[in-house]
Structure 1
């Protein structure tokens, strides 16, 4: 691959990252307004509940009356609040497009896969997290997670720009391999799904029973479980692909490198969550704690190992 760098595209990539952060922050604010002033999760559930006719001559409820036992009808949200949710989703897609464009322009600027250092990896991981949320939203009613996923992505990008940013340039020869497209891409996709699960788990633990505008704990647990069920086999593939790449690059499948060890520890932690949930029937708080322990292992493997432990993966170019 060419060692030349297209400075114009590299600068455009950096500018797109800043635009992405602003769009994610704007989306987060819109999601927060939707949560604060839109229809509450409890009200939405009551509105979706079918009203059954009374058997035995009790008659039908009067028009406009609330179903028995549900209390007074919920207050309608302000007119502007109705648009907060759709605006937030639109801003999220714009931020996602800017995030994607920043990754593509970075790759074109250096003529290689754009995840050859920690800065590029974190940018791609934030893109994967928002992608997982947006595409899950197309199928499941998970818009309530938007405020938390977008703020996590904005903070991740801010951290990358402030502490991890390096100028676009060539990478060490070991990274000029098609295995980057296989191993690292799988790790990025799985990490994005695990971030969605982690955000759901944190919300599960901090949610109070009186927080009627937040989704129920059952919904949060369901989202976390679905994300992990999809992400775990992808992470498994990433670990296997990493071993195959290690054999090709260093002549052995496993060498007890810190990155290899923590990738395997992360795999074990998520496997423990799935196993406990499937066989022992662990659900609720206990299951969320296990998956958050796995999430902590993931974050340390992705960022902490490169900063504090080094090893054969120390070519990640973390600025000193």
Structure 2
């Protein structure tokens, strides 16, 4: 947690640096590079909320290279850095430190997770404390893998902040010693079902971060100039709301695939353990609710044209349901899935 805290501070310093550079009229790329002596941001008139905001966005991001697909290699797929050969650029030290601390924290936490499994002589996700540790390891791991394909390092503050909160709650409230598995959990499905659910949650967390930033960016692009509360300067260095929405959609689709498998595997496991595929247990119901929310999000965006803020709100509601399922249902609702260990 201490190493993640250092990463959080470094990422926050990078956002502060971006705000200062954008305020000074320099273009700041998504990768943290700063292009000096680029075109200064045009002032948006009070009545030019549409075309004026778009022009200011274009000027602040400067010249953007061709963007490749989601799984293309290299940071330029989302980069906003300048391609002007005569410009001088300098990389953000705070951003590099943030990624380095995040990687170190991930390795330390993954080691702790593995050692917990060795101590218990089983997979380390049989109670709330272990699930919290494994889930946060996967959130950070997915983030580190994705940024090797698409430059989403600007999400570092959110990801490390979320992980710090979850680890803090689990350490204070959920810690239990190593204990043997209940009979119902003594199955190979524990390895498959819970791990895939954790992996789906990790992708949903990344999609939630993108959707939250998309909402702010969309508001920033459409609001009349002069509303200072929404004029977050560092947002000018991030991708536009359309790009953020497309990235969130692709990430959430991956999470939805994993969650669909989780729902199916859980039904198969329930039949093996309790002799029925579905029993309307609280945990089963909330797992299905989460699936319905994300299925509605994907369907509405693909067939009904739900773009912009509406799709972002649906994605945020979906992740809120995931957190409710994890932090409330597992602890305060009693049923066949009461394996929190508390």
TM-score when normalising by structure 2 = 0.75
Matched, 1:186 2:186: no
- Pick one of 161, 165, 184 that aligns with 1:155: 165
1:22 aligns with 2:26: no
Q: CA RMSD of the aligned region, Å?
A: 2.8
The residue aligned with 1:253 is: 277
Q: 2:28 — aligned with what?
A: 44
Between the two proteins, the alignment pairs up a number of residues equal to: 280
After superposition, residues 121-160 of structure 1 pair within 5 angstroms as 121-160=131-170
- Contact preservation (8 Å) 1:122, 1:157: yes
Number of the residue aligned with 2:314: 290
The 3 A distance-change label for structure 1 pair 150 and 104 is same
Structure 1 equivalent of residue 53 of structure 2: none
Q: Which of 124, 128, 132 is the matching residue for 1:114? A: 124
Alignment check: 8 A CA contact 1:37 1:77 kept: no
Asked if 1 retains the 8 angstrom alpha-carbon contact of 2:31 and 2:151, the reply is: no
Aligned to 2:78: none
| Structure 2 residues not aligned, in runs of 5+ | 43-58, 63-80, 82-86, 221-230
263, 268, 287: which one pairs with 2:287?
263
Q: Please tell me whether the aligned partners of residues 37 and 78 of structure 1 are also in contact (alpha carbons under 8 angstroms).
A: no
Tell me if structure 1 keeps the 8 A contact 2:127–2:341: yes
Deviates more, 1:186-195 or 1:211-220: 211-220
Instruction: Give how far 1:169 is off.
Output: 2.0
* C-alpha separation in 1, matches of 2:213 and 2:123: 34
| Structure 1 length-normalised TM | 0.80
Unmatched segments (≥5 aa) in structure 1: 1-20, 49-63
1:211-232 C-alpha deviation (Å, 9 max, x unpaired): 2313232343233212101111
Structure 1: which 4+ aligned runs deviate by more than 6 Å? 76-79
Q: 2:264 aligns with which of 223, 232, 240?
A: 240
Cα deviation for residue 200 of structure 1 reads 2.2
**What do residues 185-211 of structure 1 show as CA deviations (whole Å, max 9, x unaligned)?**
100000011011112222333456222
Q: Which residue of 2 aligns with 1:275?
A: 299
Superposed CA deviations along residues 53-72 of structure 1, whole A, max 9, x for unmatched, are xxxxxxxxxxx77499749x
Aligned residue in 2 for 1:3: none
For the residues of structure 1 that align with 2:260 and 2:30, how far apart are their CA atoms?
Answer: 41
